[in-house]
């Protein structure tokens, strides 16, 4: 559905993207995660042909993103917090305006989405709150049943109630399309994403399926017979190593249950007990982000 | 989808459209009122003209920036909207909502002034083509490379300052140029070149922006085109006049015309009590000398105009140097010379050059660029309260001025006017005939090209029949006006040509005016 190949983007002297490559499989929900300034929005803008890459190519719906025609754009829904809709039009007027541009626009779906998102039809876009605008943006992206839905920081600044409404609107159709989402709200993504790409300073550190990712990350607590000390040689797959009394805790990024005991035994002596815990996307992200930051320091 | 986008823009901007149209119609009404009221003309016209220009500008900028091209946040960028449709929708809006009321007001004004529908429509159309090409389309292109109104205003101010600085620099480098070409009747050639460059530049910028969305490239392109426009505004005289020469109606008509240095004509005597503009205002810039030149071989009923005289001097050291220029719009009409007038024209000599060559016997060469105009038609109307519709000048009327010294001839034309004409007070009964008033201020342009104030051309001539100071008396005087006519003779350019006069021994100081 999306294939980015060696994307580079320079803003002045700053490299916002540095050879980014990734693939979004058809039917997947691909979450692009990373710290502020990692290049998520830049990547999405290149994919949407809003800005041009300095180098590299991207294919969206099997077409070079620089040459996307109205036919391709009519199959892509785009929701972003940085989206300026015509402020002087009302919700109704803008939906009426957009309708003819999309051959697949479904009036019933539009009505359902509007009702569920509780958008005031006569209110001007300029008078909508931030949350309402995000819902408006979603209401403009769903009624034509897009093949690809691109969401750029869709949850940013939304209160929990609006976020729930937004999510409900999104989830209703998520199974029918491929979704590319960039967000800091990892707890929300956790429920949607099937694939994850981790972006750091314009580089993709990894991309893999959500199941593989949660499978290989474990929070490990090793209880020792006496007071614990951080080992001199920490295995590189162990991140965020800390000592709490006689407990040594770390995140294992290459977790395999059958080999964990042996690996711990080779590093630590006097192991009394080993506890493992699955990790959510948020914990994985913060562990990786911290590790990257520490490595940079 | 063009109509669909257009409707959206109208929905968003209709209050501005209504305001701009109202200003335009108020402005047109004010002009109409002023044209038809001698006693108390409304003085709002200039203010309304500025307001109308600002309103048009604001409207064009606003409609373009509803779907702005620079930037990354606009919603339309991710919609299946054809760029071609968007551009055409914006052009359609400008033509219908901005230009439409202006065109309608122009037509209505011409109709209200009594011009036939065909003439009113065609004149309004030509004026609106000029207005669109010179003003609205460039504004549209400019708006397409800016993000918002503030950015546009800042860019316009910066561009205006840059433009003025550049013009000033060129003026310093070539101090005479603007007076030579910029105020000349062949300036339409420059205007046409500028128009062609402008139209090409606007098209290129719009294509680059709407089809490629390359704002930086489009901005560079805009800067380059602006620079080119400034440069072309300062086109040298020779190619400009060469183009005009090629367009001569009858190039052979002037073959017998000769110009010769005639010292016996003596030094030029200024009319007492008067001083020329340049002596009054630009004393430090130059000295005026009058070279006595005799003209022969003029056909009957013709006017010879000096479009430019360029003088070159070679001093005793043998080094030639540009001396100065002259482009006074004085006309010399064979058979009906104005008393006291003579066919020589002021030559503006730079102060430094004058100081250097003042008393040196030098070789003077003068290149004259000339236009021969022949009588094409004659019309006559009553000197008092006369009314006449003339194809050349439109609808004209006469009345005597308040001080009782001159007949006012006021004309309103929808379309072009002849470049030269004379107005003479004649009394058929007494055979009296006053010296003609020569009016040569039109361009040689073959087509109607007018931006402001509207589609109508206005002509206001004073034909004196009494000297306000009562120093002399004219044959047709006040008491005879009732049975007198103002005879208007129209002259058509036949040939544009050059003549070269060489004066081997010439001393500048000999030909200062008395």
Angle at which helix B83-93 crosses helix B2-36, to 10 degrees, equals 20
Please give the pLDDT value at position B105: 95
Please give the pLDDT value at position B375: 92
Identify whether the C-beta of residue A207 lies closer than 8 Å to the C-beta of residue A25: no
Chain B residues within 8 A of A70 when measuring between CB atoms: 80-82
A48/B82 touch (CB, cutoff 8 Å), yes or no: no
What does the pLDDT average to over B50-76?
93
Neighbours of A268 (CB within 10 A): 15
Residue A297 in this model has a pLDDT that exceeds 80: no
Please list the alpha-helical segments (H only) found in B67-186. 83-93, 100-112, 117-131, 137-144, 149-173, 177
CB pairs under 8 A between A and B: 49
Please give the pLDDT value at position B338: 42
CA–CA min distance A144, chain B (Å): 12
Pick the closest to residue B80 from A204, A144, A157 (CA basis): A144
A73/B80 touch (CB, cutoff 8 Å), yes or no: yes
Return the structure tokens found at B486.
């103002």
ipTM exceeding 0.90, yes/no = no
Please give the pLDDT value at position B281: 40
Nearest CB to B1 within list A50, A84, A100: A100
Domains A2-209 and A218-278 share a fold: no
pLDDT tier at B280, thresholds 50, 70, 90: very low
DSSP A196-243: EEEEETTEEEEEEEHHHHHHH-EEEEEEESS-----SS--TTEEEEEE
Nearest CB to B78 within list A71, A78, A93: A78
Bigger pLDDT: A98 vs B472? A98
Identify whether the C-beta of residue B150 lies closer than 8 Å to the C-beta of residue B157: no
Chosen for mutation from A76, A86, A138 (greatest number of chain B CBs closer than 10 Å) is A86
Place of tokens 């009702």: A115
Q: Answer whether A50 touches B (CB < 8 Å).
A: yes
What does the pLDDT average to over B251-278?
74
B66/A83 touch (CB, cutoff 8 Å), yes or no: no
Domain range B251-372+496-511, CATH class: mainly beta
| Domain residue extents for chain B | 2-235, 251-372+496-511, 375-493
pLDDT tier at B279, thresholds 50, 70, 90: very low
CA–CA min distance A70, chain B (Å): 4
**What is the rounded distance in angstroms from the CA atom of residue B117 to the CA atom of residue A75?**
52
A76/B72 touch (CB, cutoff 8 Å), yes or no: no
> How do beta strands B456-464 and B485-506 pair?
unpaired
Tell whether pTM > 0.80: yes
Of the listed ranges A3-17, A156-170, A261-275, B170-184, the least confidently predicted one is B170-184
Identify the architecture of domain A218-278 in CATH: 2-Layer Sandwich (3.30)
CATH of A2-209, one of 3.10.620.30, 3.40.50.300, 3.90.580.10, 3.30.70.330: 3.40.50.300
Chain A residues within 8 A of B80 when measuring between CB atoms: 70-71, 73-74, 101-102
Residue B339 in this model has a pLDDT that exceeds 70: no
Q: Answer whether B73 touches A (CB < 8 Å).
A: yes
Percent of chain B with pLDDT over 90: 49
Say which residues have a Cβ less than 8 Å from residue B513's Cβ, sequence separation at least 6. Answer: B267, B268, B269, B270, B288, B289, B290
| Domain residue extents for chain A | 2-209, 218-278
Chain B residues within 8 A of A93 when measuring between CB atoms: 8, 11
For residue B452, how far is the Cα from the chain centroid?
Answer: 11
């Amino acid at each position: 559905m999306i294939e980015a190949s060696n994307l580079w983007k320079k803003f002045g002297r700053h490299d916002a993207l540095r050879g980014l490559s990734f693939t979004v499989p058809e039917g997947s929900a691909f979450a692009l995660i990373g710290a502020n300034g990692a290049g998520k929005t830049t990547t999405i803008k290149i994919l949407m042909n809003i800005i041009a890459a300095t180098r590299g190519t991207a294919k969206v719906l099997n077409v070079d993103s620089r040459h996307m025609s109205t036919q391709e754009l009519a199959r892509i829904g785009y929701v972003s917090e940085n989206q300026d809709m015509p402020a002087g039009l009302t919700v109704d007027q803008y939906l009426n305006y957009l309708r003819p541009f999309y051959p697949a626009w479904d009036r019933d779906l539009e009505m359902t989405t509007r009702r569920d998102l509780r958008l005031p039809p006569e209110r001007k876009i300029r008078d909508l709150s931030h949350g309402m605008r995000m819902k408006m943006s979603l209401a403009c992206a769903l009624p034509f049943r897009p093949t690809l839905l691109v969401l750029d920081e869709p949850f940013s600044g939304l209160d929990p109630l609006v976020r729930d409404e937004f999510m409900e609107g999104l989830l209703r159709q998520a199974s029918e399309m491929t979704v590319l989402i960039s967000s800091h709200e990892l707890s929300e993504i956790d429920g949607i994403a099937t694939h994850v790409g981790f972006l750091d300073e314009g580089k993709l550190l990894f991309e893999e399926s959500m199941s593989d990712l949660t499978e290989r990350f474990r929070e490990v607590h090793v209880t020792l017979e006496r007071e614990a000390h951080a080992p001199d040689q920490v295995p590189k797959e162990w991140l965020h190593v800390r000592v709490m009394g006689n407990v040594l805790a770390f995140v294992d990024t290459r977790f395999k249950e059958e080999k964990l005991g042996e690996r711990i035994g080779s590093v630590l002596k006097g192991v009394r007990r080993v506890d493992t815990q699955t990790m959510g996307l948020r914990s994985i992200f913060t562990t990786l982000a911290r590790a990257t930051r520490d490595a940079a320091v | 989808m063009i109509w669909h986008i257009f409707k959206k823009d109208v929905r968003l901007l209709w209050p501005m459209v209504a305001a701009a149209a109202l200003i335009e119609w108020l402005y047109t009404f004010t002009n109409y009122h002023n044209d038809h009221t001698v006693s108390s003309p409304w003085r709002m016209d200039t203010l309304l003209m500025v307001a109308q220009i600002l309103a048009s500008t604001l409207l064009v900028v606003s409609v373009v920036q509803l779907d702005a091209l620079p930037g990354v946040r606009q919603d339309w960028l991710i919609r299946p909207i054809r760029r071609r449709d968007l551009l055409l929708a914006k052009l359609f809006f400008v033509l219908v909502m901005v230009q439409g009321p202006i065109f309608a007001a122009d037509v209505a004004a011409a109709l209200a002034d009594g011009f036939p529908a065909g003439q009113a429509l065609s004149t309004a159309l030509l004026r609106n083509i000029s207005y669109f090409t010179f003003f609205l389309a460039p504004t549209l292109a400019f708006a397409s490379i800016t993000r918002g109104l503030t950015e546009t205003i800042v860019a316009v101010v910066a561009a205006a300052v840059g433009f003025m600085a550049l013009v000033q620099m060129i003026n310093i480098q070539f101090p005479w140029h603007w007076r030579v070409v910029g105020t000349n009747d062949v300036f339409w050639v420059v205007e046409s070149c500028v128009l062609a460059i402008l139209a090409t530049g606007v098209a290129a910028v719009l294509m680059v922006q709407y089809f490629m969305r390359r704002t930086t490239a489009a901005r560079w392109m805009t800067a380059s085109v602006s620079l080119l426009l400034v440069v072309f505004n300062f086109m040298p005289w020779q190619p400009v006049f060469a183009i005009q020469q090629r367009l001569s109606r009858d190039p052979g008509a002037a073959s017998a015309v000769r110009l010769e240095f005639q010292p016996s004509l003596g030094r030029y005597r200024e009319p007492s009590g008067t001083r020329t503009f340049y002596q009054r205002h630009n004393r430090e810039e130059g000295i005026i000398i009058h070279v006595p030149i005799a003209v022969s071989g003029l056909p009957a009923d013709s006017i010879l105009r000096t479009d430019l005289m360029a003088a070159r001097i070679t001093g005793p050291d043998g080094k030639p140097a540009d001396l100065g220029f002259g482009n006074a719009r004085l006309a010399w009409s064979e058979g009906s010379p104005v008393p006291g007038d003579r066919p020589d024209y002021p030559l503006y000599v730079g102060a430094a050059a004058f100081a250097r060559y003042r008393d040196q016997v030098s070789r003077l060469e003068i290149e004259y660029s000339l236009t021969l105009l022949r009588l094409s038609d004659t019309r006559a109307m009553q000197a008092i309260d006369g009314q006449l519709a003339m194809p050349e000048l439109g609808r004209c009327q006469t009345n005597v001025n308040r001080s009782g010294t001159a007949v006012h001839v006021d004309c309103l034309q929808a379309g072009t006017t002849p470049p030269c004409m004379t107005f003479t007070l004649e009394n058929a009964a007494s055979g009296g005939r006053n010296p003609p008033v020569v009016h040569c201020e039109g361009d040689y342009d073959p087509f109607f090209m007018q931006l402001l104030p509207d589609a109508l051309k206005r002509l206001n001539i004073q034909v004196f029949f009494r000297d306000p100071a009562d120093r002399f008396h004219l044959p047709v005087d006040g008491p005879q006006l009732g049975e007198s006519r103002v005879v208007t003779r129209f002259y058509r350019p036949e040939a544009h040509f050059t003549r070269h006069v060489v004066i081997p021994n010439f001393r500048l100081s000999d030909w200062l005016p008395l």
